[in-house]
Amino acid sequence: MAESATATALRTKRDELVRVIGSYEKSISAARRDLAHVNATLELFERDTPPNVYPSRLSIARTFKRGEIFCLCHTALTAAPEGLDTRELAIAVVTAKGMDQADTVLRKAICFRIVQAMLRQGMQGRVASYRKRKGVRVWKLNRTAS
């Protein structure tokens, strides 16, 4: 039985609409990025505070001594036997170092450092990442190796 012309036309129209929607979604994501940049620049010009009040970004490479991140994470994990996720560990590290907890850029940078340190300790059997919660790893001490 041959396909009807109506079915063929509908399939063609469907494929065309899928392509059009895909191109619109790419345009929307590009426009959102542009809007975020414009908003950030506009915020710089609309602030009432002097320019030296803006937070300066610094490298956290030398902020921590060797092994200090794991030591702070170990202390936090000892107090929480059910485990903590990477974001909670970052808040614990920021609090222990007396840094600004509201600084999301700092917390994100520390999260990356925590993941590196914890993966290294995981290879040695001291910690384990046994699941994910809200997209981030949950870390737990291995009681037998500690």
8 A C-beta contact, residue 94 and residue 111: no
* Percent of all residues in the chain with a pLDDT value above 70, rounded to a whole number: 90
Residue 38 CA to residue 94 CA, distance in Å, equals 30
Q: With H, G, I as helix, E, B as strand and everything else as coil, classify residue 1.
A: coil
What kind and span of H or E run contains 127?
A: strand 127-133
H/E segment holding residue 128: strand 127-133
- Express each pLDDT in 11-29 by its tens digit: 999 999 999 999 999 999 9
Mean pLDDT of the 2-19 span: 92
Q: What are phi and psi of 135, to 5 degrees?
A: 85, 0
Q: Which two tokens stand for residue 114?
A: 């925590």
In which residue are the tokens 């190796």 written?
145
Q: What is the pTM of this model?
A: 0.60
Of the two residues 42 and 85, the one the predictor is more confident about is 85
Predicted confidence (pLDDT) per residue in 56-103, tens digit: 666 787 888 999 999 999 999 999 888 899 999 999 999 999 988 888
Dist CA 18 CA 25 (whole Å): 11
Strand 84-85 to 136-141 pairing:
antiparallel
Residue 127 CA, chain-centre distance (Å), reads: 21
Checking 53-62 for CB contacts under 8 A at 24+ apart, the result is 55/103, 57/105, 60/106, 60/109, 60/110, 60/113
Question: Tell me: domain 68-141, CATH 1.10.10, correct?
Answer: yes
